């Protein structure tokens, strides 16, 4: 990511923060609309999931200019998600739902440059998670509940 992209992600996130938890609910609504088969992967309530997503986004955005400080946590997240049954193709669906949610929350402020910056940030996040999951075949070979098959 360029410095300008980092600045766009961080400044646009400040605009979303006042509506972050409702926006996270929109995200899950959109995610399940795009791919209803993902719904069973989420065992906690929609509100709990939205809260977790909001917290994770805040942490990632705050440190996106220092990716080395969060890389280990992102890799761990990727391994956990693989154990839940997340597959490579799910990352594109999540990215689509995330960008749609940001567009809803930012309205006219979701310019092509802001969209590209968020796509780059999510691209790094997804790549890091997928790489960590691929390096841990035991997690990928699970039954989706984290139990080895």
Total domains present in the chain? 1
Q: Which residues are paired to 148 by β-bridges? A: 142
pLDDT 10s digits, 12-33: 999 999 999 899 999 999 999 9
Give CA–CA dist 85/108, Å, rounded: 36
Q: Is residue 139 within 8 Å of 133, Cβ to Cβ?
A: yes
Residue 137 confidence (pLDDT) above 50: yes
- Has residue 89 been placed in a domain? yes
What is this structure's pTM?
0.86
- Has residue 149 been placed in a domain? no
* Planar angle of CA 86, 149, 32, nearest 5 degrees: 25
Q: In this structure, what CATH number is given to the domain that contains residue 8?
A: 1.10.490.10
pLDDT confidence of residue 142: 40
pLDDT 10s digits, 87-131: 889 999 999 999 999 999 999 999 999 999 999 999 999 999 999
- Has residue 145 been placed in a domain? no
- Has residue 99 been placed in a domain? yes
Q: Which domain holds residue 134?
A: 3-140
């Amino acid at each position: 990511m360029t410095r300008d992209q980092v600045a766009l992600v961080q400044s646009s996130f400040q605009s979303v923060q006042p509506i972050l938890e409702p926006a996270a609910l929109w995200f899950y609504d959109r995610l399940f609309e795009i791919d209803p088969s993902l719904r069973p992967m989420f065992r906690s309530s929609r509100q709990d999931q939205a809260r977790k997503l909001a917290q994770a986004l805040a942490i990632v955005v705050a440190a996106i200019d220092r990716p080395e400080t969060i890389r280990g946590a992102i890799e761990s997240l990727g391994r956990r998600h693989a154990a839940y049954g997340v597959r490579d193709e799910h990352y594109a669906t999540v990215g689509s739902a995330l960008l749609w949610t940001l567009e809803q929350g930012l309205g006219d402020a979701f310019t092509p440059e802001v969209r590209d910056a968020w796509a780059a940030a999510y691209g790094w996040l997804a790549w890091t998670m997928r790489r960590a999951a691929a390096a841990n075949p035991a997690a990928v070979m699970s039954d989706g509940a984290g139990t080895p098959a």
